Structure 1
Amino acid sequence: MSTLILDDVCVSYGRVHAVCHLTGKFEAGSLTAIAGANGAGKSTLVKAIMGELPLTNGHINQGKLTPQDIAYLPQTAEIDRHFPLNLEDLVSLGSWRKNGAFRGLSNACLEETKDALRQVGLAGMEKRQIGSLSSGQFQRALFARLLLQDARVVILDEPFNAVDEQTTHDLLALILQWNKEGRTVLAILHDLEQIEQHFPNTLLLAREAVYWGDTRQALSVQNKQRAKSLIHYWDNPQSQISTPFKESA
């Protein structure tokens, strides 16, 4: 199973609580948006799931999932596009767990790379340097790399940030296809209308869970107001005696 279970998960930066007492689960085969204001702990949470940040409390149970079963796309701003790689090199990195880190690319891997580039609309661009790509083209290339990883769980941190409408449409179609294939998909998103249209489940974060479940419930007017109040509390902890909303779904 590819269920991720979080039990009282907390992550802190020194004395600053970034994620607090988060309990719930991303069901196997589910499609979940992670929403919330800047500073709500969204990227911190997915980095903790990936093991890039230590927990200060709680536990994340990945069941029988191995590192090879989880694919992670960080924010584009965290990737150095000045490194001298062409598209073929970048995308083929998605197969390193299967083919090994120090082997040359097999003919089969090269064909898989070409096919992945074709699926994201970059056919024939294998030798283009990544530094010459537009933001949309680069994000398409990163999705092609995810295709080669063929993971059971896909975690995306702001996958549509700074890309054009057509690229968003095409990449969203890939995400929905992954979900139809039974993969578990988590995506940090800011476009609430997009979430409501395409993502049945939402975790609304404000450093703690405001609501985790049905998207329409999560993004209700009441819950969005709760999220705003919680962020205000965490940013101004001395202004109130206790948090305004302790319960979470």
Structure 2
Amino acid sequence: MIALNHLSVGYQGRAVTPCLNGVFQRGSMTALIGANGSGKSTLLKTVAGLMPPVSGSLSFSTPRASMAWLPQQSEIEKTFPVSVVDLVAMGCWQKCGWFGGITRQMRQSVLAALEKVNMLAFASAQPGTLSGGQLQRVLFARLLVQEAELLLLDEPFAGVDSQTTELLLALLEERHRAGCTLIVVLHDMPTVEKYFPQRLRLSATHTEWSGLESTVAQLNFCHRQKA
């Protein structure tokens, strides 16, 4: 689904990862792991198109419009004056456009997604009044409404209670079984080992893949070329 061609990612022209070559195969479920500052979130943002590569390029076999992005909670505006149901309905924008109306069928999908994450009772609430776990459930409901082929999630379980984590992991497994491709930044190794067949460990000097089989996504890494 995604090909990395001599890709280095970082900030202001300075790479924080080695040079990356290879592909994420369609239908794979990959955890990005490594120490803070190793480039996990930066790689994810570059894949999402939110940051330009420092060098090299990415290519996609599916339109970026079929991608769904979930940033860290610290990057989310929680005080914007919308209701929970309106926030989830934003996941319909690919179907109706930013200025189009929500159809009855779309609204039913929004309510069904809220029910799936046990947040239907909070449909009229303001996102700023929710706990961290409740807000993450709502954001996952928006992902479900998007029906994206590729999910990019940055530390989706940080600061979330165990019950919510189990629910959200079950939803991710469900999307994976439906053929969705997932790339997720994670720190909790027991979660990684239990749920994620593929793992990519990043550092400033080297990378390591694990949990791969011959039919699963493979990435080959080269040393960062010095300028």
d(CA) in 2 for partners of 1:54, 1:19: 14
- Equivalent position amino acid for 2:168 in 1: L
Deviations 1:197-242 (A, max 9, x none): 1111001001355212417xxxxxxxxxxxxxxxxxxxxxxxxxxx
Residue of structure 2 aligned with 1:18, choices 16, 19, 33? 16
Aligned length: 216
SS at match of 1:124: helix
After TM superposition, the structure 1 = structure 2 runs for residues 1-249 of structure 1, keeping only pairs within 5 Å, are 3-14=1-12, 16-63=14-61, 65-207=62-204, 209-214=206-211
- Cα-Cα RMSD: 1.8
d(CA) in 1 for partners of 2:107, 2:28: 31
Cα deviation for residue 11 of structure 1 reads 2.0
Cα deviation for residue 7 of structure 1 reads 1.5
d(CA) in 1 for partners of 2:68, 2:181: 10
TM-score of the superposed pair, with normalisation by structure 2: 0.90
SS at match of 1:83: coil
SS at match of 1:77: helix
Stretches of structure 1 that go unaligned for 5 or more consecutive residues are 216-244
Contact 1:32 1:202 in 2 (8 A): yes
d(CA) in 1 for partners of 2:123, 2:13: 46
Contact 1:140 1:167 in 2 (8 A): yes
d(CA) in 2 for partners of 1:58, 1:208: 17
User: Larger C-alpha radius of gyration, 1 or 2?
Assistant: 1
Cα deviation for residue 123 of structure 1 reads 1.7
| CA distance 1:207–1:70, change in 2 (3 Å) | farther
SS at match of 1:116: helix
Stretches of structure 2 that go unaligned for 5 or more consecutive residues are 213-221
> Identical aligned pairs, as a percentage?
39
Divergent runs of 4+, >4 A: none
Cα deviation for residue 61 of structure 1 reads 1.3
Cα deviation for residue 68 of structure 1 reads 1.9
Deviations 1:101-149 (A, max 9, x none): 1122221111111000001111232111111101000000000000011
